[in-house]
Amino acid sequence: MITIAIDGPAASGKGTLARRIATHFDFAYLDTGKLYRAVGMAVLRNGGDPADEEAAEDAARALDPVALEDEALARDDAARAASQVAAHPAVRSALMDLQRGVAASPPEGKAGAVLDGRDIGTVICPDATVKLFVTADVEVRADRRHKELLDRGNASIYARVLEDLRERDARDRDRETAPMRPADDAHVLDTSDMTADAAFDAALDLIEAAVREALEKSGDEAE
């Protein structure tokens, strides 16, 4: 089974890249960040605090996959809550099996899966076929997120978006459990000066040979 792990900070372009790669290879795709956003939103809607590990764990264990289709998960409050609940070891443990299940047995009989998040290559799928760590300067990421929010019709102030991203980066990077970092064997892709198309082309250059080799190997084993 082929697994492509794509990690990196918020607004680095990893989600757009992961979806395009999944489509290109006809692989399953899982945005693991949505899992944490759904957990965070569940806690908020229950009147709880995402910083409360017990409340967050309860929400994670009760998570219904249907919740991943909630449009509210695109909001900034969902992103902030996600970063908070993701710091809890109990939440990460509760969601680990679901993520590994998609990688091991992609839905619809797909030949592989693309998972993007913060700890896919380091914790969830350490044996992934290909690992990418997609990053960009925080100012560039803040500008992207600011424009994205405005395009959606949401109010946004660049300075606040920048501050929020810096805080989220610090939480993700400094948490004790599964901190955000490139896996030792990950390819680091800096998209600061790249368009989405350029990032996609660069990623394909990095992963196509490995995926082709894995597909050929699986075909030989099947014979």
Predicted confidence band of residue 219 (pLDDT cuts 50, 70, 90): low
43 CA to centre of own chain: 20
Distance of alpha carbon 55 from alpha carbon 46, whole angstroms: 9
Q: What is the end-to-end Cα distance of the chain in Å, rounded?
A: 15
For 62, phi and psi rounded to 5 degrees? -100, 5
Model pTM? 0.86
pLDDT of 217 above 80:
no
Q: What is the mean pLDDT of the chain?
A: 92
Residue type, 155: A
Tell me: pLDDT of 212 over 80.
Answer: no
- In this model, does residue 222 exceed pLDDT 60? no
- At 152 the pLDDT is 84
Strand partners, 131: 5
pLDDT at 187 over 70: yes
